[in-house]
Amino acid sequence: MAGGPIEIDETPGILAWCACGRTRYPPYCDGSHGDTGVVPIIVQIERAGPVRWCGCARSTSAPFCDGRACGGA
CATH number 3.40.5.90 is the correct assignment for the domain at 12-48? yes
- Tell me the pTM: 0.88
> What does the pLDDT look like over 22-73, one tens digit per residue?
999 999 999 999 999 999 999 999 999 999 999 988 899 999 999 887 876 5
How many CA atoms, within 13 angstroms, populate the side-chain half-sphere of residue 36?
Answer: 13
